[in-house]
Amino acid sequence: MLKVAVLSFAHVHAAAYLRLLRAMPGVEVLGSDPDTGSAAPGEVRGAALAASLGVPYADTYDEAFAWGPDAVLVCSENARHRPLVERAAAQGVDVLCEKPLATTVADGEAMVAACRAAGVRLAVAHPVRFSPAYAAVKRAVAAGDTGRVLTVSGANNGHLPTRARRWFADRELAGGGALMDHTVHIADLVDDLFGARPLEVYAQTNNLLYEGETDVETSGLVTVAYDNGTVVTIDCSWSHPRSHHSWGGLEMTVVGEHATLEMDAFDQKVHGYSERDARGVELPFGVNLDERMLHAFLHGPAPDGPTVPDGESALRTLRIVTASYTSAHTGMPVPISH
Amino acid sequence: MPPLSIGLLGAGGIARAHLPGWLALGATVSVYTQDGSAEKLAAEYAGRGHAVTAVPTLADLLDRCRAVDICTPTPTHGELALAAIAAGRHVVCEKPLALTVREAEEVAAAAAAAGVHLHPAHVVRYFPAYATLRAAVAHGDLGRLAVLRFTRGSARPQWAPWFGDPAQSGGVLLDLMVHDIDIARWVAGEVVRVHALTRGAERATGTPAEVVAATAVLTHASGAITHVSGLWGLPDQPFRTTFRVAGSDGLLHHDSAAVPGFRITAQGVRAPNEGIPSTPMTESPYLTQLREFAASWDDPGLVPRVGAADGVAAVRVACAAIESSRTGRAVDLPAEQKESAC
């Protein structure tokens, strides 16, 4: 049996991971969520969440590590990834860390260094790499069907995530707002697609959406120029209406010299309308990206299949995000340090 | 109302989009070009019983018309507009109003001084989906606008070589993206900062499959931010525009390819892409536009939704985008230029 511990249920994905791990053959799962101070009233965390999912629970991280996990999933608040990752490294346990890797480059570098020194694997949760739609884009680019890629326009819009977890709009714990939350998914795909070096970033943000509710940025447009000549723009805004029946999505348009491609990572759905609930419905039929990602993390990638991004690549995308904040602040393009 | 006599300058793609609009308004139309194409266009329409006549000189055209409609390549807009204004004629001018801010301002100032109307033909304001967007925003349906996206793509224009020369057309930023720059201003207000990048073959050399793509981020005085994406693409790139506009109280989006109202799904052979977009389910937006312009000539109370200042501002923002794409810097637009006619 492969023993996997989920450390912290702060991130909204923790419950999904617990469910998937519980159902995976050959996997034994344990949850632990001792630091629930960031939770708003009504957020189900800790032993209660574990019990509702029928997952064994440890009251402390000490207990969770004493259980002897083969791997851990770190689902704490963005700014609290580092201590758990460093602890896993010290215990010699492989880590899958939620994105973004950290809220500062210094934290990210320390986490990568700790895992490298300990010889443990640091993987970062970017499930969209496992999207068949993205795989089709990657095949087309790798085969040369697109020719040289000129521009990539991406949008990763979601609703304001604070209803499920309040800390997502806490400047300290989340490291910012939409820019921190939603830039990295598309930046990671682009990192994987080209292996190119980002040279410069320009970003503009505002908090005109939910202005009275949060002081972090809720809208952002990020433009990144890469050393292969490609220009990538990312709309990272939490601009999907909160009352909409879906959470949002991720789309990309790739303009090459020989072909233009469009992908939608989450629109493998039947759309309709429920008279009973008086709202639109979406019935997804696509593959479960989280499940594919967890499987690849625990058992290795499928032949020719995607791998979970490592700490180094997550650090590259984090550098884009931190430079974006500088650009949004100064109103000028900012070079990306390496 | 005096009889509607129009002097049409040019006989290319956009002239052919405007001419049926003028005829639908009951106009008599004189056409002038320097390359003989006016005679061909006039003969084609006269043969169908329409009041369209080719004239041999610009002076003849100005003598015969009340208003001039400039549908010529962009570098000639300024000179022709100034000639028409000097003759006391109203001017409809295809977008962009001019290649440079200075020339656009000069034309606008001349029109104001002469007391004639100057109508930059930003026809997208008359496309029903965009007009609907603007009406909803103006009505407050979306609350405060926060983040907007506009895309516009077509096959690279091959019908006239001057499009491929950025020195004559302004390239994809000024010729194509000026449409959405104008719409972004119309919907979200004045633009105070621009950053843009262009990739691909800015200058077309005539070989097929020369793709050029540009991307611009506009920051509005309100704090709202807009992404504008423009593509002159491969020969089989369908004409397509999209928008997605999010505000504090909601979201509106549109994809011209998703809601055509009508489409031919098979016809045995592959049809060429349209160069000038049409909206078959509504009145021609070109007609709507020209009707609104002409109506303002006799009733000062009827102010068209696009004015001379808008044409100048669109050129100013697009030229700032060009400057940004060349220098790699974000370009701040001077505060005193932020007044709007809309």
Residues in chain B, total: 342
d(CA A43, CA B219) in angstroms, rounded, equals 37
Within 10 angstroms of residue A62's Cβ, the number of other Cβ atoms is 12
Residues B133 and B54 in one domain: no
Residues B108 and B131 in one domain: no
d(CA A195, CA B289) in angstroms, rounded, equals 48
Beta-sheet pairing, B145-155 with B191-200: unpaired
SS3 for B199?
Answer: strand
Q: Is the pLDDT of residue B338 over 50?
A: no
The backbone torsions φ and ψ at residue B248, rounded to the nearest 5 degrees and listed phi first, read: -65, -20
Q: Say if the Cβ atoms of B223 and A206 lie within 8 Å.
A: yes
Q: What is the mean pLDDT of residues A86-99?
A: 98
Query: Do residues A224 and A151 touch, judged by C-beta distance below 8 A?
Result: no
Q: Across the interface, which of A231, A260, A331 has its CB nearest the CB of B199?
A: A231
Reported ipTM: the value is 0.89
The chain-wide mean pLDDT, for chain A, equals: 96
Q: Does B321 fall in a domain?
A: yes
d(CA B49, CA B8) in angstroms, rounded, equals 18
Residues B224 and B279 in one domain: yes
**Distances in whole angstroms, Cα of residue B201 to Cα of each of A150, A227, B19, B64:** 10, 18, 33, 43
Residues on B contacting A at a C-beta cutoff of 8 Å? 144-147, 149, 151, 153, 193, 195, 197, 199-200, 209, 211-215, 217, 219, 222-227, 229, 231, 233-234, 237, 244, 246-248, 250-251, 328-330, 332
Residues B66 and B159 in one domain: no
Residues B172 and B221 in one domain: yes
Q: Is the pLDDT of residue B265 over 80?
A: no
pLDDT > 90: percent of chain B:
83
Residues B116 and B130 in one domain: no
d(CA B83, CA B273) in angstroms, rounded, equals 36
Q: Does B40 fall in a domain?
A: yes
Q: What residues of chain A lie within 8 A of the CB of B247, using their CB?
A: 208-209
Name the domain boundary from B61, B89, B121.
B121
| Domain of residue B53, residue span | 5-121
Q: Across the interface, which of B197, B217, B251 has its CB nearest the CB of A241?
A: B251
The DSSP bridge partners found for residue B52 are B29
d(CA A170, CA A161) in angstroms, rounded, equals 11
Q: Is the pLDDT of residue B249 over 60?
A: yes
Q: Is the pLDDT of residue B335 over 80?
A: no
For the stretch A219-240, pLDDT in tens is 999 999 999 999 999 999 999 9
Residues B212 and B183 in one domain: yes
Residues B201 and B220 in one domain: yes
d(CA A165, CA A176) in angstroms, rounded, equals 14
Q: What is the mean pLDDT of residues B229-233?
A: 97
Q: Does B342 fall in a domain?
A: no
d(CA A202, CA A320) in angstroms, rounded, equals 10
Q: What residues of chain A lie within 8 A of the CB of B214, using their CB?
A: 151
Test the A interface: residue of B176, B197, B226, B255 with most A CBs within 10 Å = B197
Query: Do residues A186 and A154 touch, judged by C-beta distance below 8 A?
Result: yes
For the stretch B73-114, pLDDT in tens is 999 999 999 999 999 999 999 999 999 999 999 999 999 999
Within 10 angstroms of residue A22's Cβ, the number of other Cβ atoms is 15
Number of helices (H) and strands (E) in chain B: give both, helices first: 11, 13
- Which residue does chain A place closest to B218, by CA atoms? A204
- Which residue does chain B place closest to A213, by CA atoms? B248
Residues B198 and B333 in one domain: yes
Rg over alpha carbons for chain A, rounded to the nearest Å, is 19
Helix (H) or strand (E) holding A106: helix A105-118
Name the domain boundary from B121, B142, B161.
B121
For the stretch A166-179, pLDDT in tens is 999 999 999 999 99
The backbone torsions φ and ψ at residue B330, rounded to the nearest 5 degrees and listed phi first, read: -75, 145
Q: What is the mean pLDDT of residues B246-270?
A: 82
Q: Say if the Cβ atoms of B197 and A225 lie within 8 Å.
A: yes
Q: Across the interface, which of A202, A208, A332 has its CB nearest the CB of B248?
A: A208
pLDDT given for residue B205 in this prediction: 79
The backbone torsions φ and ψ at residue B304, rounded to the nearest 5 degrees and listed phi first, read: -60, 155
d(CA B99, CA B97) in angstroms, rounded, equals 7
Q: Does B274 fall in a domain?
A: yes
pLDDT given for residue B341 in this prediction: 34
d(CA A168, CA A204) in angstroms, rounded, equals 20
Q: Is the pLDDT of residue B337 over 60?
A: no
Distance from CA of B47 to the nearest CA of A (A): 43
Domain tally for chain B? 2
For the stretch B106-146, pLDDT in tens is 999 999 999 999 999 999 999 999 999 999 999 999 999 99
Residues B114 and B129 in one domain: no
Q: What residues of chain B lie within 8 A of the CB of A210, using their CB?
A: 248
Residues B221 and B307 in one domain: yes
Name the domain boundary from B94, B121, B148.
B121
Q: Does B248 fall in a domain?
A: yes
SS3 for B114?
Answer: helix
Q: Say if the Cβ atoms of A206 and B193 lie within 8 Å.
A: no
Q: Which domains does chain A have, with CATH numbers?
A: 2-124 (3.40.50.720), 127-335 (3.30.360.10)
pLDDT given for residue A203 in this prediction: 98
Residues B41 and B151 in one domain: no
**CATH classification of the domain holding B103:** 3.40.50.720
pTM above 0.80, yes or no: yes
For the stretch A140-193, pLDDT in tens is 999 999 999 999 999 999 999 998 999 999 999 999 999 999 999 999 999 999
pLDDT given for residue B214 in this prediction: 98
pLDDT given for residue B159 in this prediction: 78
Question: Could you tell me the end-to-end alpha-carbon distance of chain B, in angstroms, rounded to an integer?
Answer: 27
The DSSP bridge partners found for residue B32 are B9
**CATH classification of the domain holding B251:** 3.30.360.10
Helix residue ranges, H only, chain B: 13-24, 37-46, 58-64, 77-86, 101-114, 128-138, 166-169, 171, 178-188, 285-296, 308-327
Helices B37-46 and B13-24 cross at an angle (nearest 10°) of 30
Q: Does B195 fall in a domain?
A: yes
Give the largest Cα separation in chain B, rounded.
Answer: 57
pLDDT given for residue B342 in this prediction: 32
Q: Does B225 fall in a domain?
A: yes
Contact A199/B at CB under 8 A: no
**Distances in whole angstroms, Cα of residue A243 to Cα of each of A164, A240, A246, A280, B141:** 13, 9, 8, 11, 15
Whether the ω angle into residue A100 lies within 30 degrees of 0, i.e. cis, is yes
d(CA B77, CA B90) in angstroms, rounded, equals 14
d(CA A163, CA A293) in angstroms, rounded, equals 26
Residue B240: closest CA among B226, B259, B227, B225: B259
SS3 for B202?
Answer: coil
pLDDT > 70: percent of chain A:
100
